[in-house]
Structure 1
Amino acid sequence: MGYIERNNAVVDKSFYFACKIVLYSEKLKAKRYFEIGSQLLKAGTSIGANVRESQRAVSTKDFKNKLGIALKEADETSYWLDIIEETQLSEVPKGFREDCEELMKLLVTIIKNS
């Protein structure tokens, strides 16, 4: 049994983004870019982990805190993608930047409106 969609945009998008990050980081590691692949893997999967954790928050403050951490991780993911592109280590897959930006916008909106 695999992932069951939650019909929650930020939860589902962050999960599928994490899956893409896992696969891309494996490609980086196969090219022997172990450190950058690991950094990207940690930051990119942490977004979804924190979003998911926020769904079991015990208070609004806890909810916003978890989403704030997810936002920071999304920004860090964007940073590692910048490094990869600027150094030309690898081509960043099409749509990664847009997915990351969309997640950040969603997170900011949810945090502001909670």
Structure 2
Amino acid sequence: PTNTMPPKSEVEATQREGRLICAINALQNQEIPSIKEASRLYHVNYDTLRCRLNGRPSRANTLPNSRNLDNDDEKTLTDWILDLAARGYPPRKWIVQDTANLL
């Protein structure tokens, strides 16, 4: 039997994100007077809530700092790798790195 339940940490992260959104909405609709009160009522971190109110996106919605290729370049590189592999020539790591550096 295959387990179709997401990992507990994923469920918790989704619930936490939902509570953050509810807290932000309550503050923006002036249903709650302060960030401190909203963080307590919705069980979310005060600093996270404050940063989100100031426009910082969630980590899930940001690109990592180590990312060197944009989406188009990444797709081009992926298509090239798949094409080579389909023809029986899977590229070695150094070839992929060199090609990525050219993009």
TM-score, length of structure 2 as denominator length: 0.31
Larger Rg: 2
Larger RCO, structures 1/2 (Cα 8 Å, 6+ apart)? 1
TM-score, length of structure 1 as denominator length: 0.29
Point out the structure with the larger helix share.
Answer: 1
